[in-house]
A and B are shown apart, each in its own frame.
Chain A
Amino acid sequence: MSVAVAPAYHWQPSTLFGSRARQRIVLGVFALYCVWSIYDLRIDYARVARGLPRALDMLARMWPPDFGRWQLLLDGMLESIQMAIASSVLGAILCVPLALCAARNLAPVLVYAAARGVIVVGRTFHEVIVAILFVKLFGFGAVAGLLTLAFSSAVFLAKMIAEDIENIRPGPVEAVRATGARFGQVVAFAVLPQIIVRTLGVFIYRIDANLRHSTVIGIVGAGGIGQTLSASFSRYDYDFSAAILISIALLVAFGEWFSDWVRRRLR
């Protein structure tokens, strides 16, 4: 009887990719891709190096932030907030038919497919792209911004609500339907009570998201504080830009805190 010899064992932490070899391959391919992409972008390193002192210069000119033109700043901020609120409400109204059509358990297949198509394609376009198309349609100003955010909100809300509708318990729907209720009554008495809390949460989240987006779509001329910011940047008015950036950061942080607070209370 020989004493059992413990096999040479070197402990290794387990990997995410199944095996060590596969991990090496995945990481290797990814590293190669990164190298290729850096090469492919043909970056002008001399220009990048020149940018660093310019960044310091810009920071120096941003300080102290100039809140002297607070009237202009306040107008832009108010317009952004108004755009966010109005577009959230408009989006909430527009999303109802879309959400009902995009729920597999309520809509016939063809309607469902069409509504899902609208949602999938609509979500791929960044708000700024939608904004510039609306600017071309309705001219510069808050109307284009309002419609942009309303469109994006409607598509986003419809997607979230449709998923919630698909996850409801079928019992209440069958029960209400068995009483001879019309479609509208089924939605009002069997579907809505099951989704309303989550829907309110999603809606509040969307107001917050609209607030964030309303600060940026002004860059293509769709109104709000973004337009003011873009103008100040193009005039090298960096201390005013700094004031605007700080205001935007505060507004966005407040919006996020507010939406978190409301959603915590809803739960």
Chain B
Amino acid sequence: MNSLRHEYPRTWQRRSLGQTLRAWLWLAGAALAAAWSVSALDIEWAFFADAHVQAADLIGRMWPPRWAYLPTILRPLIETIHIATLGTVIAVVLALPVAFLAARNTTANQFTWLIGRAILVGSRSVNTVIWGLIFVAIFGPGPVAGICAVAARSVGFLAKLVAEAIEEVQVGQVEAIAATGARTSQVWLVAILPQVLPVLIGTAVYRWDINVRESSVLGFVGAGGIGLYLYASINQFAWPQVLVILIATSVIVLVSEAASAWVRSRVT
């Protein structure tokens, strides 16, 4: 009968003592990491004192935007989209074999699987701009380096998602096609490819709109597109031009994002 008279607390508490302690420990750990990071960065806090003045000054210099500059940047804007599109197309072509190599159920053996995975990791862990730096050193400045950079970064992204889709295809269709006596290549083409095609197209279109955003800065390392003009305008302190470029870039990115969302809503 003793257990029935167990005392319940009179006031409601959301967490037990242990939970509260653990939550505070996590917070303390995060705060410690943050404190270490900030203190080790050697920040000159005096810079922050007049930050708002500096920012207001910058905006004051940018305004009003110099719209007369718009015709000059029309071509580089189109070039930016070209770089994104062509880079994505090349990436799609390259990503398909890599995806089949990196999917456990289509790869030939452990070794080929490792090669596929290595390509995925290598391509994905280097940023588009750094790929740009590398390809500018190879091909010289210009849109070719930009296209290669976009393609090199997108291959891993596309192949990873398509490989995951390949690993999750329905086995029934694969077995049915294999039962007709089809060769491996025919099984891939007829049973697997149609199943992953929506994923491929969806991710390719999604990657394209990321790539439009990425190619807007490829010009900073000389890989073509609008970034070159932005960099030049900033270095000449031509702030009203900078504002025009920023507005134009943002419009293009927004439009491509909307277009990509529309296409994806129709495909999947």
Q: How far does the Cβ of B125 sit from chain A's closest Cβ, in whole Å?
A: 4
Contact B139 A219 (CB under 8 A): no
Annotate A120-144 by CB proximity to B: 1 below 8 A, 0 otherwise: 1100111011001100111100110
Q: How far does the Cβ of B267 sit from chain A's closest Cβ, in whole Å?
A: 6
**Is the CB–CB distance between A82 and B133 below 8 Å?**
no
Which of B82, B194, B250, B257 is in CB contact (< 8 Å) with A125?
B250
Q: Is A34 an interface residue (CB 8 A)?
A: yes
Chain A neighbourhood of B220, CB < 8 A: 128, 132, 219-220
Contact A226 B130 (CB under 8 A): yes
Is A155 interfacial (CB 8 A cutoff)? no
Question: Could you say which of B47, B134, B217 contacts A138, with CB atoms under 8 Å apart?
Answer: B47
Query: Taking A125-B250, A146-B41 as contacts, is the C-beta distance between A16 and B133 under 8 angstroms?
Result: no
* Residues of chain A lying within 8 A (CB to CB) of residue B246: 125, 129
Say whether B17 faces chain A, with CB atoms less than 8 Å apart. Answer: no
Contact of A16 among B38, B140, B267 (CB under 8 A): B267
B74 at interface, CB cutoff 8 A: no
Per-residue CB proximity of A81-95 to B under 8 Å, as 1/0? Answer: 111011001100000
Q: In the complex, which residues 215-268 of chain B have their Cβ closer than 8 Å to any Cβ of chain A?
A: 216-217, 220-221, 224, 230-231, 234, 246, 249-250, 253-254, 257, 267
* CB within 8 Å for A44 and B142 given contacts A82-B37, A137-B58, A215-B127: yes
Is A178 engaged at the interface, CB distance under 8 Å to the other chain? no
Residues of B within 8 A of A256 (CB): 124-125
- B contact residues, total (Cβ < 8 Å): 64
Contact of B231 with A86 in the complex, beta carbons under 8 Å = no
Contact with B along A211-222 (1 / 0, CB 8 A): 011011001100
The residue in chain B whose Cβ has the minimal distance to the Cβ of A88 is B34
Whether A249 touches B43, Cβ cut-off 8 Å, given contacts A55-B138, A86-B37, A219-B221, is no
Q: Which chain A residues border B224 with CB–CB below 8 Å? A: 41
Q: Are B37 and A37 within 8 A (Cβ)? A: no
Q: Does any Cβ of A come within 8 Å of B198's Cβ?
A: yes
Contact A120 B127 (CB under 8 A): no
Q: Identify which of A46-54, A64-72, A99-107 touches chain B.
A: A46-54
Q: Does A32 count as interface, using CB distance less than 8 angstroms?
A: no
Is A162 interfacial (CB 8 A cutoff)? no
A245 in contact with B40 given A33-B85, A125-B250 (CB within 8 Å) = no
Q: Is the interface of B mostly helix, strand, loop or mixed?
A: helix
Which B residues are CB-close (under 8 A) to A258?
none
CB of A168 within 8 Å of the partner chain: no
Q: Are B140 and A82 in contact (CB under 8 A)?
A: no
Which chain B residues lie closer than 8 Å to A16 at the CB level?
Answer: 197-198, 201, 267
B residues within 8 A CB of A250? 125
Which of the residues A44, A54, A126, A138 comes within 8 Å of B138, measured between beta carbons?
A54
Bound complex: CA A89 to CA B37 (Å): 10
- Do A41 and B143 contact each other (CB < 8 Å), given the known contacts A85-B34, A124-B249? yes
Q: Which of A38, A86, A89, A223 has the most CB of B within 10 A?
A: A86
| Chain A residue nearest in CB terms to B41 | A142
Q: How far is the CA of A33 from the CA of B86 in the complex (A)?
A: 10
A194 interface residue (CB < 8 Å to B) = no
Residues of B within 8 A of A139 (CB): 47
Tell me if B121 counts as interface (CB < 8 A to partner A): yes
- Chain B hits for A137, CB < 8 A: 51, 54-55, 58
Closest chain A residue, CB of each to CB of B239 = A136
How far is B47's CA from A146's CA once the two chains are assembled, in angstroms?
13
Interface positions of B from 94 to 132, Cβ below 8 Å from A:
121-122, 124-127, 129-130
Flag if A136 contacts B41 (CB, 8 Å): no
Compute how far the CA of A40 lies from the CA of B143 in the bound complex, rounded to whole angstroms. Answer: 11
- Complex-state Cα separation, A128 to B234, whole angstroms: 13
- 18 A-B pairs besides A43-B144, A55-B138, A126-B214 with CB distance below 8 A are A16-B198, A16-B267, A43-B143, A51-B138, A51-B140, A79-B41, A82-B40, A83-B37, A86-B37, A129-B217, A132-B220, A139-B47, A146-B41, A212-B127, A213-B127, A233-B133, A252-B124, A253-B121
Q: Could you list which residues of chain B lie within 8 angstroms of chain A, going by C-beta atoms?
A: 14, 30, 33-34, 36-38, 40-44, 47, 51, 54-55, 58, 78-79, 81-83, 85-86, 89, 121-122, 124-127, 129-130, 133-134, 137-140, 142-144, 190, 194, 197-198, 201, 213-214, 216-217, 220-221, 224, 230-231, 234, 246, 249-250, 253-254, 257, 267
Give 14 CB contacts A-B under 8 Å.
A40-B78, A44-B144, A51-B138, A54-B137, A54-B138, A81-B37, A89-B34, A126-B216, A129-B246, A137-B58, A212-B125, A219-B129, A248-B130, A252-B125
Q: Which 9 A-B pairs give the minimum distances between C-beta atoms?
A: A252-B125, A86-B37, A82-B37, A51-B139, A37-B82, A124-B250, A89-B34, A249-B125, A124-B253
